[in-house]
Amino acid sequence: MSFDPNASPFNALPPVVVALAAAIAVPELIFQLAGSGLLAGVGAGSDLRLLAIRNFGFFGDVFGWMIQNQTVTVDSLTRFVTYPFVHGSFVQMIFVAVFTLALGKMVGEVFSAISVLMIFFGSAIVGALVFGLIFRSESLLVGGFPAAYGLIGGYTFILWTGYRAMGGNQYQAFQLIGLLMAIQLVFGLLFGTNNDWVADIAGFVTGFALSVLVSPGGFNRLLQQIRSR
């Protein structure tokens, strides 16, 4: 496993990361074009956004209904993997896209494309699951932050193993997530916040945990540790 904490985050992006970033950006591009009137025959951008949120967002009350009625539908399941691609604003999309490109490059240089997808979607799914279990009613989750935080978890794992290999302080690997959480706390105190941070933290933990398995040789290392006990 290679480790270079000083590597540039924007050179030679892995194709899977470019594809994810494009999937994040395209819906927002459509909303913006519709809002500017450049898409003939399409409703206003705000109307399209609300329609997309209604059709593809993750709703706590829908999840609560699934649990209460012990019923699973295709529509309710697909929302676990579609909500990261619908955002509440252009600014939210930009931050998610930048995180995905920067952290996805770092992770994609070490992990396979399949592993990157597993971390991205696995973190999105677990983030929504935890969010739904805690906030079942009148709650909405949209945007790719839980998935992006999963990539942060993957990058943290890479740093963690790198510091261990070099005999350094492994806890330094968690400086990035600590800084992001501090920034989120400050913004929450200044401007108010919602409950999305729960999904973000769940996404980060999932990304880190999945990296143990999907990193090169990770599963074999885990088996060896289990057998050695």
In SS3 terms, 107-168 reads as HHCCCCHHHHHHHHHHHHHHHHHHHHHHCCCCCEECCCHHHHHHHHHHHHHHHHHHHHHCCC
Pick the residue with more confidence: 221 or 151? 151
Q: How confident is the model at residue 192 (pLDDT cuts 50, 70, 90)?
A: low
| 185 pLDDT above the threshold of 80 | no
- Best CA proximity match to 203, nearest among 151, 167, 162, 163: 151
Please tell me the predicted confidence (pLDDT) of residue 164. Answer: 79
**What is the average per-residue pLDDT within 11-21?**
90
**What is the average per-residue pLDDT within 207-228?**
74
Pick the residue with more confidence: 98 or 178? 98
pTM reported for the whole predicted model = 0.84
Please tell me the predicted confidence (pLDDT) of residue 36. Answer: 76
Q: How confident is the model at residue 224 (pLDDT cuts 50, 70, 90)?
A: low
Dihedral pair phi/psi, residue 140, rounded to 5°: -135, 135
For the stretch 37-57, pLDDT in tens is 766 555 555 688 999 999 999
CA separation for the pair 150, 88 (Å, rounded): 20
Dihedral pair phi/psi, residue 23, rounded to 5°: -65, -30
Tell me the pLDDT of the chain averaged across its residues. Answer: 84
CA separation for the pair 135, 60 (Å, rounded): 6
| 229 pLDDT above the threshold of 60 | no
CA separation for the pair 4, 212 (Å, rounded): 19
For the stretch 125-168, pLDDT in tens is 999 999 998 887 668 999 999 999 999 999 999 988 888 778 77
Please tell me the predicted confidence (pLDDT) of residue 222. Answer: 56
Task: Return the bridge partners of 140, or none.
Answer: 59
Angle between helices 90-108 and 15-35 (to 10 degrees): 170
Q: How confident is the model at residue 33 (pLDDT cuts 50, 70, 90)?
A: confident
Q: Give the single-character DSSP code of 177.
A: H
Q: List, in order of start, the domains of the chain with CATH numbers.
A: 15-228 (1.20.1540.10)
For the stretch 110-127, pLDDT in tens is 999 999 999 999 999 999
| 228 pLDDT above the threshold of 90 | no
CA separation for the pair 117, 100 (Å, rounded): 11
